[in-house]
Amino acid sequence: MDLSPLLDDQALPIDDRTAGHRSPVRQGAPTTSQLRVAEALDVACRTQGFFRVTGHGIDPALFADLDRLARRFFAQSDQTKAEIAMAMAGPAWRGWFPVGAELTSGRPDHKEGIYFGTELPNDDPRVRAGTPLHGPNLFPDEPAGLGTAVLAYLDAATRVGHAIMSGLAIALGLPRGWFADDLTADPTVLFRIFHYPPEVEAPEGGPHLTTPRAPAWGVAEHTDYGLLTLLAQDDRGGLEVRVDGRWLPVPAEPSVLVCNLGDMLEALTAGRYRSTPHRVRNTSGAGRLSFPLFFDPGWDARVRPLPLDSLTAPSDPSDPHRPTVSSDSVATPSIQQRWDRTDPAAWTGTYGEYLTAKVSRVFPELFASLEG
């Protein structure tokens, strides 16, 4: 969908660094074109939880720069890439990790990557306090320019995140600045660059046997933790989403963003909006690059039910995602229907605490070393 009507009236230019990633969303009544976009967002979020984003205002040249520089970085030796290893960043959880170091449901992912986030100096109070996932980024010396491109993309994609949340506020019958004034006034913004090596088609037990080995999932089935994931990707393909019990491929279109919803947005809306399971398997025969940006609640925010009388369950009682809505609780799809058998709506702490607990299971060895 064309997001441009929601971006046209944002108050701050992309390159205004004085406000960090705080929201530039204007107040006031939405325009007719914004209402149309909000309606389209509502339909996509209720039915699939995934949608394409065009008209996002991000320069195609920036996508091309990120792709080119990322390929140069990942083509280097592991020894060279380890000069910005995640362990060097301490609790900030920034930097490179090798293939197999990140886990999904306890199983190693067939990918390597670099973790980035909002750039914060060492004298920032949150950094001085050792707040997890806060700190300066680790940028490699080579290729030169990767750090500059990453920071430019963080700013541009964060603006897109604010715009989508303003559209969702309109769709939910809230003031369009509702999220910007509270939950995402100072959002948690994390960015990753992932490289998925091609899957090796070799039989299990040796080349002369015919039993194929289990799929080498780049990332196994999962949902994302927060509000929105904005994904840029190359043209290799490999991303699949589960809709109505079927796995569907997501077209790979460079310069087109794919947006999916996270667990916190599903919890906020009592299951009206869905955090859709997805997975990645690279069978293209070549390395695949993806660039997910996670636009999430503020670190100290407590996720609570939205003040909406309009929340209603789907009309089909056989729908396994049909929630039961009450005035004092958030209902999410059946725990038995979720990939991880958990209920995000049951969390009562801050989003930062929730995210730290999740990340500690993704990198258990690194987390243990930091705790020690």
pLDDT tops 50 at residue 155:
yes
At 365, the pLDDT band (50, 70, 90 cuts) reads: confident
- End-to-end CA distance of the chain: give it in Å, rounded: 47
CA pair distance 136, 362, nearest whole angstrom: 21
Nearest CA-CA partner of 133 in 124, 141, 142, 146: 124
What range does the domain containing 261 cover?
A: 4-305+347-371
Please check whether residue 318 lies inside any domain of the structure. no
Please check whether residue 330 lies inside any domain of the structure. no
CA pair distance 288, 76, nearest whole angstrom: 16
Orientation angle between helical segments 351-362 and 364-371, nearest 10 degrees: 110
Please check whether residue 323 lies inside any domain of the structure. no
- The residue-averaged pLDDT of 353-366 equals 88
Count up the domains in the chain and report the number: 1
Residue pointed to by tokens 């707040």: 131
CATH (domain of 102):
2.60.120.330
Measured in whole angstroms, the distance separating CA 179 from the mean position of its chain's CA atoms is: 17
Mean of the per-residue pLDDT values of the chain: 85
Please check whether residue 156 lies inside any domain of the structure. yes
pLDDT tops 80 at residue 215:
no
Please check whether residue 249 lies inside any domain of the structure. yes
In tens, the pLDDT along 30-39 reads 899 999 999 9
CA pair distance 73, 140, nearest whole angstrom: 8
CA pair distance 84, 138, nearest whole angstrom: 6
Please check whether residue 312 lies inside any domain of the structure. no
At 354, the pLDDT band (50, 70, 90 cuts) reads: very high
CA pair distance 333, 223, nearest whole angstrom: 13
CA pair distance 24, 7, nearest whole angstrom: 10
Please check whether residue 81 lies inside any domain of the structure. yes
Please check whether residue 294 lies inside any domain of the structure. yes
CA pair distance 92, 18, nearest whole angstrom: 22
- What's the pTM? 0.86
